[in-house]
Structure 1
Amino acid sequence: MESIKQTGAAAARTAVVWDALRAVLDERVAAQGRERLDIVDAGGGTGGFAVPLAGLGHAVTVVDPSPDSLAALERRAADAGVGVRSLQGDAADLGDLLPGDSADLVICHSVLEYVDDPRRALTAMAGLLRAGGVISVLAANPVATAIHRAASGRFDEALHVLGDPEGRWGDRDPTPRRFTAEGLAQLLSTSGFTPGEAHGVRVFADLVPSRLLDGEPGAATALAALEQAAASHPVLRDIATQLHLLGHRK
């Protein structure tokens, strides 16, 4: 499969996810016997994943509730010279917006934290997938939030995160919920998926000052390699800013 071009800090922060997506795309292309896959990006926003995937030749549909994000997506796709279909709507309403059994891959990145009902949203995504289809889930990790709050001197908030069932640091927390690896796996399992292994995303990337990446040749590449090595480390994974899981439709 053609490579996805990324540079700098963005490459380091997303290297683990792109590694997983490349493997999924290769597997689905081989299984389906066709190079062009049907991909739905639920809550895909401005197209950070959708546009590169479309650049690889896949048919990508982005569903997002924000018209401003969709407008930015269309500009981004035009600048890249690719076509991406955009639909305004919520993740839970995917079954009303798109036909069932029509997608090979569904992307659900930074969505479950904000939807009203994560299980309902995931069940709707499962309905879009063909047999053997895959979902890519990326969600915020409460342990990382506790570490970051403590590092900024907000010790009471860090303690609150560890005891809160939704992984929040307080009433002013803008993120409605966060997920442990075990919680994400259980949610996928009860929503029509067989979950795979969890990987940590941004274990170190959010701790490194951007000046170190901008000023040192090869620093971003080295950080990406470090992130890839840390992603499945049994300790480091659980302190990553985000957790990534793949789920196969049952």
Structure 2
Amino acid sequence: MPDPSPRGATPPRPPRASLRTSVVWEVLRDALDRRAEATGGETLDILDTGGGSGSFAVPVAQLGHRVTVVDPSPNALFALERRAAEASVADRVRGVQGDVHGLFDVVERDGFDAVLCHGVLEYVDDPAEGLRNVVAALRPTGVLSLLAAGLGGAVLARALAGHFTEARQALADPAGRWGDADPVPRRFTAEQLTGLASDAGVDVGAVHGVRVFADLVPGALVDTEPGALDALLRLEAAVAELPAFHSVATQLHVLGVKHR
């Protein structure tokens, strides 16, 4: 783990993990900076739904913000507590057990400057209802960071692995699943995800393709070829906002603000 950052400083990126988080992290950090400037305060109240062990919550807290993590797993919340303590931000990170369908049993409505909903909609029974709850937790003009599995990335991955029938099944299946053994219950297109956000009361500002190439490049190449990791990170950043690449991204990220 990198050394904890001073309050308000930019946390360093874990090199290998940055392949999965870099695009979202850079966009999110900029959005939080803009929100802080707009509200005139240095410290924001952030909600991370399904935040697990704190892969985003702890770096956000290292920026100086207060973060509440709601997650159904006691084990994940225990790991969150440990990670926050190791990063010296335990006083700014709070974990509570719950999920988006019962969100207001554990947090207040209209109480947060930003909400992270990462890797949640794939697993809930009713994505539209879950996202409406997430947005209802935001203050007016608060920031939504929505990250979910992309349909096209799964189709491409199955095809490149030689599983052509499974690729066709994912393409035709309403939930984007390639078979009974598929561990992901639901995937989305960019249009579906932005439609859900708009219907929930969000003005969509940007859509990003995440892990467009990272999951297709052999890990040995990234780990051993000098400069390969940084070059791949720059490539991912370069294509993230290009609509042509959204259809093959492993994940899709939607950034928006709640209606006034």
Please indicate the TM-score interval, normalised by the length of the shorter structure.
Answer: over 0.9
Q: Give distance in 1, aligned partners of 2:118 and 2:170.
A: 21
- Tell me if structure 2 keeps the 8 A contact 1:138–1:244: yes
Residue 76 (structure 1) aligned with residue 83 (structure 2): yes
Higher RCO (Cα < 8 Å, 6 or more apart): 1
Is the 1:110–1:138 contact (alpha carbons within 8 Å) kept by the matching residues of 2?
yes
How does the TM-score come out when normalised to structure 2?
0.92
Matching residue within 182, 192, 200 for 1:183:
192
Equivalent residue in structure 1 for 2:51, among 44, 54, 73: 44
Find the residue that maps to 1:166 and give its secondary structure. coil
Q: CA RMSD in A?
A: 1.3
Aligned to 2:160: 151
Gaps of 5+ in 2: 1-7
Q: How does 1:13-32 map to 2 (within 5 A)?
A: 13-32=20-39
Give the letter for the 1:80 counterpart: A
Matches within 5 A, 1:129-168: 129-168=138-177
Compare 61-70 and 8-17 and name the one that shifted more.
Answer: 8-17
Q: Distance in 2 between matches of 1:233 and 1:90?
A: 32
> Aligned partners of 2:32 and 2:196: how far apart in 1?
24
2:217 is the counterpart of 1:219: no
| Alpha-carbon distance in 2 for matches of 1:24, 1:2 | 16
Work out which of the residue numbers 86, 97, 112 in structure 2 matches 1:88.
97
Distance 2:163 2:58 in 1: 38
Provide the rounded CA distance (Å) in 1 between the counterparts of 2:49 and 2:20: 20
CA distance in 2, matches of 1:43, 1:7: 21
Work out which of the residue numbers 191, 197, 208 in structure 2 matches 1:199: 208
Aligned to 1:35, the other structure's residue is in SS state: coil
TM-score normalised by length of structure 1 = 0.96
Distance 1:17 1:233 in 2: 15
- Rounded Cα–Cα distance in structure 1 between residues aligned with 2:135 and 2:14: 33
Aligned to 2:5: none
Identical-residue share of aligned pairs (%): 54
Instruction: Find the aligned partners of 1:158 and 1:68 in 2 and give their Cα distance.
Output: 34
1:174 aligns with 2:176: no
CA distance in 2, matches of 1:25, 1:76: 22
- Runs ≥4 residues deviating over 6 A: none
**Alignment match, 2:119:** 110
* Secondary structure in 2 matching 1:196: strand
Conserved? CA contact 2:109–2:136, under 8 Å: yes
Structure 2 residue identity aligned to 1:25: L
- Conserved 8 A contact 2:157-2:216: no
Determine helix, strand or coil for the equivalent of 1:232: coil
1:4 to 6, 11, 22: 11
Question: Match for 1:209: what amino acid?
Answer: P
> 2:73 & 2:133 partners in 1: Cα distance?
19
